[in-house]
């Protein structure tokens, strides 16, 4: 199962980087989204794919029982989802503002408006 997830992460990273190298800003934003999804899946896979009980500690025990799921990768992924959504929303608003000012979404045309 980890091999399938690793291949999916590789495809998401490769597709995301390819899209980010395009001249179109919309493709750049799609590549950024693909890259963030690949990072989330990488964290999930690196945390280990085990099925277990909820990580709750019984009253009077010092540690959780054996066979519980690790909550740290899940918390990291939830944080990464929120951050990537905020970055994507900011980039989208920035793109819309630049498009309204220049009338183009080509990065080469945007460079010529700097002077």
Alpha helices by DSSP H, listed for the chain, are: 2-20, 25-46, 71-102, 107-111
Higher pLDDT, 88 or 47: 88
pTM above 0.85, yes or no: no
Higher pLDDT, 78 or 64: 78
Q: Is 100 exposed, middle or buried (0-12, 13-18, 19+ CB in 10 A)?
A: exposed
Per-residue pLDDT band at 112 (split at 50, 70, 90) = low
Cα–Cα distance, 32 to 36 (Å, whole number): 6
In contact, 40 and 80? CB cutoff 8 Å: yes
Q: Please give the pLDDT value at position 74.
A: 85
Higher pLDDT, 25 or 48: 25
**Which domains, from first to last, does the chain contain?**
2-49+70-111 (1.10.287.3510)
* Per-residue tokens: 106: 């080509």
């Amino acid at each position: 199962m980890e091999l399938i997830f690793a291949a999916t992460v590789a495809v998401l990273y490769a597709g995301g980087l390819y899209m980010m190298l395009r001249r179109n800003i919309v493709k750049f934003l799609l590549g950024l989204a693909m890259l963030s999804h690949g990072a989330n899946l990488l964290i999930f896979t690196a945390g280990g794919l085990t099925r277990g009980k909820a990580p709750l500690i019984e009253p009077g025990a010092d540690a959780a029982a054996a066979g519980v799921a690790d909550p740290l990768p899940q918390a990291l992924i939830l944080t990464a989802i929120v951050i990537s959504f905020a970055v994507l929303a900011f980039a989208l608003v920035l793109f819309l503002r630049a498009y309204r000012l220049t009338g183009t979404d080509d990065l080469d045309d945007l460079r010529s408006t700097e002077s």
